């Protein structure tokens, strides 16, 4: 499904990620772990074509993706950026409509779908996105990414600054999307338990390179290594 | 060959960085050859050429504001025009008494231009207006002055300002001091204007290299950082604008004397449009560029078209400006400099961002000695009372109350998004809290500007390394030493000492942009230390540092805490552990726990926040 | 002061506010939806006026000529975006300078082609009587036009797919691209829309303001100031600032001269910016 090969990327002349390769199979949930500054966000942005590419490629089902971010989205990559960048002066349904329209889907159907998936958004349908709480913005950001009807969903730190009850809700929702619709998911996270609760496989990023590939069971058994790796 | 050519190129490079370039000499050569040409060129050419030099002077005023100060002002012609009118009115009335006309036209032009520019600058800079807003404001200012002058009529002594009809009988260039002194010949007029322009250029070039110029450069490169070094950037920018207004005013006075007649077209959009063209053709920020640009544009329209005021000039100039901004980025002088740089420096210089991780070794003993002799308020405290900050629907800081005192390092930790940086920014003044207070040693500083906080004794290092890219290592430190107190000797001394503390003497002439990330972090820390702060706020200082560097940083922080109040914001637990600090844990904007690090390590809840384990977090 | 005088003053103030709004919305749309200040805005208005004049001279009825002028100016704007603005992506001051150059090119071309005087449109102007005073019906009609124009813009930007996407793109370009928005295409449309609105202004105002090469000059000072003072919620902000300042400017101008009106407008704007550095709408929570 999603394949990142030998990714080298960063900003201007500064290389931040080096030779990162990873794979997400159809219907799989994969976690990308690592401490702050390890390059998780950069690798996610690299995948979306949002940072400078110095080498490597990203492909879906064997088709190499073009550099343009918007084209990548249309070819099946959904993206939930770190820091829940909703469009603050767009209403909740408009946020979803933007994504649907850009990818050529019917906006009213998409909004209805999103409200069905996330009832909490339906309660807020008159509100401007900027006035939502952190957790609500995160949910909106996920709903918006889903409105592009992705094959692979990339989530960058979806639990950051989000209250625990909503973290749980997000986890459940992602699991259900995965099971019911076969959505493949790649999550960059620091929140270990959240990852362990939904992902079966994980990559560990250290200093811009992938240092380990591991499974959930291994992680649960061997927490000391993990603490060392994540620096907690 | 590598060796010798390498050393020559490094010699040249050092020369360029230190005396900041040989362009003054080239400019003087240029001026002298122009001056010499005044003895043989055709009088008509000399007459027309005089106006080009005057336009170059006008361009210089924009280059100072735009290329150095970073503000694209479309209002320079209004200062120029006012300077022309006021200077000419003075000359009309007083020149008959003295003979010499310039001693009236130029000072009056300069002063009126400066006053007007100060007024406009005060509104823009003290209002902290956005750059686009400022540009539009200067543009509308030009338009308004133009419309006013179109209908404005008055009589001041002998001078008759006739609205659209303009003002005539302006005395020409008279240098002699007796009542029968006659106007200069075109060639002598050309020479006089060259000499005056060269003097003004030299003064500007001198100012640009002075502490004032360094401050202006640093504000252009990073205004936020400049303010965090205690510089009242509004004041410096307004002064810079005033200086540029004075230069434009002088150019106006010269123009009045050259034309013997002024009308409102001097304020017109067509006139105003030429100024950025001169600057762009010649090269932005080069100071000599505007003259080169004005001569080029003037020369081209003289030899190719029908003189300066040819029928279709407006059309051609408009098209020129479009083409210039799209294709020509550096102008003639900038282009020549690039070529020279490529020949002498080798093109690798800028790409040299050291791949080798040169380890920084800090000289702590020296720092301790310096610290002991520094004038630091030993008992300065920082206190926040119920400080809150909200962004839209997100409560980033939730009534945090803390007291920070010297003696022991204080840490603020918490997972990403816990509000650490936002909290710190309410302390630095970058954010105004929605409620609550910030106190420095008991003084309420909730509402004062960041630079005023720095002047009181705050030293702030932001999350990313903030250094002035286009300045050398030494210059970066120098600005930091200068910002606190505006004392040149102190800046020389402090920056010199700090080079030793940071062990950066060998790379002191390198541009900050060529340093590695780690080196930039250290340089930034060094800049904060140059302020000799009593309260030090460090936002993730260890980010991007190696293990060894972190160890040194930890020592440095603990050393500083002996004499100053030190607050470190970080989420690197390894690093925090080494600081032997009292730790405050922030979670979702509020204080979650506060204790010694070892105590906290036993606290399961803290680990839960970090690992996102569910039970205790939800119970919180 | 008499009641009829006050009523007339109010109506004439409203109509001059309406004229200002009609002339300004195009600029506000470009600034609000793509962050570009178009210094050639006044000349785009002039472009629309001459296009209307041209159409009526070849026999097209005036209402159709307005449509024609709007479309032609919009197409012209789209071409300008493709040829110039697009190359200066993210360089707002270079964009500003380029549009400045364009304004002079357009102005001088108009001088060359049409000269400085042109025949009026010759629309019958009728007046209504209010007590001892009278006011042109056409000016009252412009109040209605401004209201309809603002209303339809609001509809366009909140209900249509272009409007929603364009607003998203200006609020956060990177995120917009990460949900599939191609901002280049949106920008061309926005620039064309802004230009079309300028062309419409030139056309609809033609009976009140005859076509001359420098006709745009009458509006640009107030238009630029209104947009700059408006702040981040550009459209609503511009309507608020523009109509308030337009009325105040008209009242001062009716006692003194129009130059005084401009000066008062300028002083009010810098005062607003002194109090609200981000513009008047800095803290508003509105869509546009």
> CATH classification of B26-343 is 1.10.3470, yes or no?
yes
Torsional sign, CA C99, C102, C107, C113: negative
pLDDT of residue A91: 92
Judge whether B454 and B230 are in contact, CB under 8 Å: yes
Across residues B100-129, what is the average pLDDT?
93
| Neighbour count for residue A222 (Cβ, 10 Å) | 11
Categorize the per-residue pLDDT at B12 as very low, low, confident or very high, splitting at 50, 70 and 90.
very low
Categorize the per-residue pLDDT at B344 as very low, low, confident or very high, splitting at 50, 70 and 90.
low
DSSP conformation class of B436: E
> Does the pLDDT value for residue A82 go beyond 90?
no
> Does the pLDDT value for residue B617 go beyond 60?
no
Chain C partners within 8 Å of B318 (Cβ): 100-108
B593 phi, psi to nearest 5 deg: -160, 160
pLDDT of residue B607: 67
Mean pLDDT of chain C: 87
What contacts B369, CB < 8 A, 6 or more positions away? none
CA angle centred on B20, ends B16 and B24, rounded to 5°? 100
pLDDT of residue C135: 81
Chain A partners within 8 Å of C174 (Cβ): 50, 69, 81, 85
> Does the pLDDT value for residue B352 go beyond 60?
no
Nearest to A48 among C161, C178, C285 (CB): C178
Judge whether A135 and A121 are in contact, CB under 8 Å: no
What is the chain C residue with the closest CA to A80?
A: C178
CA angle centred on B280, ends B275 and B285, rounded to 5°? 100
Distance to chain C for B52, nearest Cα, Å: 21
Chain C partners within 8 Å of B280 (Cβ): 97
Q: Does A69 touch chain C (CB under 8 A)?
A: yes
> Does the pLDDT value for residue B509 go beyond 50?
yes
Categorize the per-residue pLDDT at A227 as very low, low, confident or very high, splitting at 50, 70 and 90.
low
Judge whether A99 and A86 are in contact, CB under 8 Å: no
Task: Compute the CA torsion angle B20, B21, B25, B27 (nearest 10 deg).
Answer: -100
A90 contacts C287? CB cut-off 8 A: yes
Q: Does C2 touch chain A (CB under 8 A)?
A: no
Ordered by start, the domain boundaries in chain C are 21-215
> Does the pLDDT value for residue C152 go beyond 90?
yes
pLDDT tens digits for B310-319?
456 778 888 8
pLDDT of residue B620: 32
B129 contacts C100? CB cut-off 8 A: no
pLDDT tens digits for C124-136?
567 777 777 778 8
Interface of B with C in 271-310 (CB under 8 A): 273, 276, 280
pLDDT tens digits for A88-100?
889 999 999 999 9
Chain C partners within 8 Å of A79 (Cβ): 178-179
Judge whether A166 and A138 are in contact, CB under 8 Å: yes
Judge whether C249 and C222 are in contact, CB under 8 Å: yes
Q: CA-to-CA distance for A208 and A15, rounded, in angstroms?
A: 9
pLDDT of residue B394: 77
> Does the pLDDT value for residue B220 go beyond 90?
yes
Categorize the per-residue pLDDT at C52 as very low, low, confident or very high, splitting at 50, 70 and 90.
very high
Structure token digits, residue B44: 């008509």
> Does the pLDDT value for residue A28 go beyond 80?
yes
Across residues B145-162, what is the average pLDDT?
88
Torsional sign, CA B333, B335, B336, B342: positive
pLDDT tens digits for C214-270?
888 878 888 888 888 888 888 888 888 888 888 887 777 767 777 787 788 888 888
Q: CA-to-CA distance for B202 and B192, rounded, in angstroms?
A: 15
pLDDT of residue C122: 63
Judge whether A99 and A131 are in contact, CB under 8 Å: no
Q: CA-to-CA distance for B247 and B57, rounded, in angstroms?
A: 7
Q: Does A79 touch chain C (CB under 8 A)?
A: yes
Chain C interface, Cβ < 8 Å to B? 37, 39, 84, 87-88, 91-94, 96-98, 100-109, 112, 217, 220-221, 224-225, 227-228, 257, 259, 262-263, 266, 269-270, 273-274, 277-279
Cα A178 off chain centre by: 13
C-alpha distances in angstroms, C227 versus A225, B140, C23, C239? 58, 12, 11, 9
Q: Which element (helix H / strand E) includes B361?
A: none
Chain B partners within 8 Å of A192 (Cβ): 611-613
Q: CA-to-CA distance for A172 and B159, rounded, in angstroms?
A: 84
Chain B partners within 8 Å of C278 (Cβ): 130
Bridge partners (DSSP) of residue A53 are: A9
Q: Could you give the percent of chain A with pLDDT greater than 90?
A: 46
Q: Give chain C as a 3 state SS string.
A: CCHHHHHHHHHHHHHHHHHHHHHHHHHHHHHHHHCCCCCCHHHHHHHHHHHHHHHHHCCCCHHHHHHHHHHHHHHHHHHHHHHCHHHHCCCHHHHHHHHHHHHHHHHHHHHHHHCCCCCCCCCCCCEEEECCEEEEHHHHHHHHHHHHHHHHHHHHHHHCHHHHHHHHHHHCHHHHHHCCCCHHHHHHHHHHHHHHHHHHHHHHCCCCCCCCCCCCHHHHHHHHHHHHHHCCCHHHHHHHHHHHHHHHHHHHHHHCCHHHHHHHHHHHHHHHHHHCCCCCCCCCCCCC
pLDDT of residue A127: 87
Burial of B29 (0-12, 13-18, 19+ CB in 10 A): exposed
pLDDT of residue C151: 93
Q: Which residue has the higher pLDDT, B477 or B577?
A: B477
pLDDT of residue B603: 75
Ordered by start, the domain boundaries in chain A are 2-83+151-230
Categorize the per-residue pLDDT at B19 as very low, low, confident or very high, splitting at 50, 70 and 90.
very low
B141 contacts C100? CB cut-off 8 A: no
Q: Does A70 touch chain C (CB under 8 A)?
A: yes
What is the chain A residue with the closest CA to C287?
A: A89
Give domain A2-83+151-230's CATH number out of 1.10.1740.10, 3.30.365.10, 3.40.50.300, 3.40.50.970. Answer: 3.40.50.300
> Does the pLDDT value for residue A164 go beyond 80?
no
CB burial readout B221-257, b (16+ within 10 A) else e: bbbebbbbbbbbbbebbbbbbbbbbbbbbbbbbbbbb
Categorize the per-residue pLDDT at C207 as very low, low, confident or very high, splitting at 50, 70 and 90.
confident
What is the chain B residue with the closest CA to C105?
A: B315
Categorize the per-residue pLDDT at A150 as very low, low, confident or very high, splitting at 50, 70 and 90.
very high
Mean pLDDT of chain A: 87
> Does the pLDDT value for residue B503 go beyond 80?
yes
Chains contacting B (3+ CB pairs below 8 angstroms): A, C
Categorize the per-residue pLDDT at B477 as very low, low, confident or very high, splitting at 50, 70 and 90.
very high
Q: Give A36-86 as a 3 state SS string.
A: CCCCHHHHHHHHHCCCEEEEEEEEECCEECCCCHHHHHHCCEEEECCCCCC
Task: Compute the CA torsion angle B508, B513, B514, B519 (nearest 10 deg).
Answer: 70
Nearest to C172 among A79, A87, A131 (CB): A87
> Does the pLDDT value for residue B385 go beyond 50?
yes
pLDDT of residue A225: 64
Model ipTM value: 0.88
A203 phi, psi to nearest 5 deg: -110, 145
DSSP conformation class of A189: E
Bridge partners (DSSP) of residue A60 are: A2, A63
Ordered by start, the domain boundaries in chain B are 26-343, 380-467+515-619
pLDDT tens digits for C94-149?
898 899 999 989 998 998 888 877 666 666 567 777 777 778 888 889 999 999 99
pLDDT of residue C245: 80
* CATH number for the domain formed by residue range(s) B380-467+515-619: 3.40.50.300
Alpha helices in B378-516 (DSSP H): 420-428, 450-456, 473-483, 488-502
Nearest to A160 among B351, B416, B543 (CB): B416
């Amino acid at each position: 499904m999603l394949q990142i090969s030998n990714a080298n990327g960063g900003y201007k002349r500064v290389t931040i990620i080096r030779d990162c390769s990873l794979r997400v199979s159809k219907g799989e949930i994969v976690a990308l772990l690592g401490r702050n500054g390890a390059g998780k966000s950069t690798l996610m942005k690299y995948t979306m074509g949002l940072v400078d590419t110095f080498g490597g490629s990203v492909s879906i089902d064997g088709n190499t993706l073009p550099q343009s971010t918007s084209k990548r989205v249309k070819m099946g990559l959904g993206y939930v950026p770190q820091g829940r960048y909703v469009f603050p002066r767009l209403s909740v349904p408009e946020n979803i409509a933007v994504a649907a329209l850009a990818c050529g889907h019917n906006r009213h159907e998409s909004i209805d779908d999103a409200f069905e998936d996330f009832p909490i958004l339906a309660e807020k349908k008159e509100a401007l996105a900027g006035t939502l709480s952190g957790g609500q913005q995160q949910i909106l950001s996920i709903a918006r990414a889903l409105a592009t009807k992705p094959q692979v969903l990339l989530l960058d730190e979806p639990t950051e600054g989000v209250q625990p009850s909503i973290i749980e809700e997000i986890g459940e929702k992602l699991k259900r999307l995965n099971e019911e619709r076969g959505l493949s998911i790649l999550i960059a996270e620091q929140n270990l338990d959240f990852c362990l609760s939904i992902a079966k496989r994980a990559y560990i990023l250290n200093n811009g390179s992938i240092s380990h590939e591991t499974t959930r069971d291994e992680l649960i058994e061997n927490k000391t290594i993990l603490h060392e790796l994540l620096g907690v | 060959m590598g060796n010798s050519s390498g050393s020559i190129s490094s010699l040249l490079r050092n020369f360029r960085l230190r005396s900041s370039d040989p362009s003054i000499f080239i400019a003087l050569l240029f001026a002298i050859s122009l001056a010499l040409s005044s003895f043989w060129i055709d009088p008509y050419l000399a007459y027309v050429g005089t106006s080009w030099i005057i336009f170059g002077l006008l361009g210089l005023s924009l280059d100072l504001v735009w290329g150095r100060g970073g503000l694209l002002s479309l209002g320079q012609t209004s200062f120029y025009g006012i300077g022309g009118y006021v200077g000419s009115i003075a000359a009309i009335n007083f020149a008959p008494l003295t003979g010499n006309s310039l001693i009236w036209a130029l000072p009056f032009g300069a002063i009126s231009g400066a006053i007007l520019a100060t007024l406009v600058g005060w509104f823009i800079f003290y209002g902290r207006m956005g750059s686009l807003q400022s540009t539009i404001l200067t543009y509308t200012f030009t338009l308004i002055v133009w419309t006013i002058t179109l209908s404005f009529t008055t009589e001041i002594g002998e001078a008759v300002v006739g609205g659209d009809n303009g003002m005539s009988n302006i005395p020409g260039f008279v240098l002699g001091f007796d009542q029968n002194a006659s106007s200069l010949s075109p060639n002598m007029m050309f020479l006089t204007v060259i000499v005056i322009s060269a003097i003004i250029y030299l003064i500007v070039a001198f100012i640009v290299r002075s502490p004032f110029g360094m401050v202006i450069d640093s504000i252009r490169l990073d205004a936020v950082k400049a303010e965090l070094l205690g510089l009242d950037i509004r004041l410096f920018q307004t002064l810079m604008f005033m200086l540029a207004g004075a230069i434009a005013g002088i150019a106006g006075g010269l123009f009045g004397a050259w034309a013997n007649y002024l009308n409102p077209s001097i304020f017109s959009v067509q006139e105003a449009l030429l100024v950025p063209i001169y600057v762009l053709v010649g090269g932005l920020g080069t100071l000599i560029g505007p003259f080169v640009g004005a001569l080029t544009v003037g020369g081209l329209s003289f030899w190719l078209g029908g003189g300066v005021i040819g029928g279709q000039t407006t059309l051609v100039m408009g098209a020129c400006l479009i083409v210039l901004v799209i294709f020509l980025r550096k102008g003639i002088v900038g282009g020549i400099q690039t070529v020279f740089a490529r020949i002498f420096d080798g093109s690798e210089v800028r790409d040299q961002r050291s791949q080798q991780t040169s380890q920084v070794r800090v000289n702590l003993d020296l720092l301790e000695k310096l610290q002991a002799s520094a004038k630091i308020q030993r008992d300065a405290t920082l206190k926040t009372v119920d400080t809150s900050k909200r962004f839209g629907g997100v409560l980033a800081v939730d009534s945090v109350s803390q007291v920070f005192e010297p003696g022991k390092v204080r840490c603020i930790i918490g997972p990403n998004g816990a509000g650490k940086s936002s909290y710190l920014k309410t302390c630095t003044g970058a954010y105004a809290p929605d409620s609550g207070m910030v106190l420095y040693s008991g003084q309420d500083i909730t509402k004062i500007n960041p630079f005023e906080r720095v002047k009181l004794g705050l030293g702030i290092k932001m999350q990313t390394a903030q250094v002035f890219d286009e300045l050398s290592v030494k210059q970066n430190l120098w600005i930091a030493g200068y910002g606190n107190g505006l004392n040149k000797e102190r800046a020389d001394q402090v920056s010199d000492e700090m080079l030793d503390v940071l062990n950066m003497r060998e790379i002191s002439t390198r541009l900050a942009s060529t340093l590695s990330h780690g080196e930039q972090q250290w340089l930034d820390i060094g800049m904060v230390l140059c302020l000799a702060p009593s309260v030090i706020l460090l936002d993730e200082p260890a980010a991007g540092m190696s293990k060894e560097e972190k160890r040194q940083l930890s020592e440095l922080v603990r050393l500083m805490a002996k004499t100053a109040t030190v607050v470190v914001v970080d989420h690197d637990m390894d690093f925090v552990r080494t600081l032997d600090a009292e730790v405050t844990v922030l979670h979702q904007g509020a204080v979650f726990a506060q204790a010694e690090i070892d105590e906290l390590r036993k606290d399961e809840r803290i680990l839960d926040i970090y690992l996102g384990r569910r039970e205790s977090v939800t119970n919180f | 002061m008499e009641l009829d005088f006050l009523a007339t003053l109010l109506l004439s103030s409203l109509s001059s506010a309406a004229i200002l709004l009609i002339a300004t919305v195009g600029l506000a749309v470009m600034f609000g939806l793509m962050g570009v200040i178009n210094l050639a805005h006044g000349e785009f208005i002039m472009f629309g006026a001459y296009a209307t004049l041209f159409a009526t001279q070849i026999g097209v009825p005036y209402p159709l000529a307005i449509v024609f002028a709007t479309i032609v100016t919009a197409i012209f704007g789209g071409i300008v975006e493709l040829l110039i603005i697009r190359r200066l992506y993210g360089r707002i001051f270079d964009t500003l300078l380029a549009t400045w150059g364009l304004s002079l090119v357009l102005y001088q071309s108009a001088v060359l082609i049409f000269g400085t005087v042109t025949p009026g449109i010759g629309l019958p102007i009728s007046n209504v009587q209010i007590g001892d005073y009278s006011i042109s019906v056409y000016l009252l009609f412009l109040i209605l036009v401004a209201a309809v124009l603002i209303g339809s813009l609001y509809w366009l930007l909140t209900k249509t797919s272009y409007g929603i996407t364009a607003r998203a793109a200006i609020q956060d370009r990177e995120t917009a691209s990460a949900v599939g928005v191609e901002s280049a295409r949106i920008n061309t449309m926005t620039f064309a829309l802004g230009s079309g609105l300028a062309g419409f202004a030139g056309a609809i105002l033609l009976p009140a303001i005859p076509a001359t090469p420098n006709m745009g000059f009458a509006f640009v000072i107030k238009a630029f100031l209104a947009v700059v003072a408006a702040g981040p919620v550009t459209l609503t902000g511009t309507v608020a600032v523009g109509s308030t300042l337009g009325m105040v400017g008209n009242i001062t101008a009716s006692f003194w001269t129009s130059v005084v009106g401009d000066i008062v407008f300028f002083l009010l704007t810098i005062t607003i910016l002194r109090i609200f550095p981000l513009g008047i709408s800095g803290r508003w929570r509105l869509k546009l």
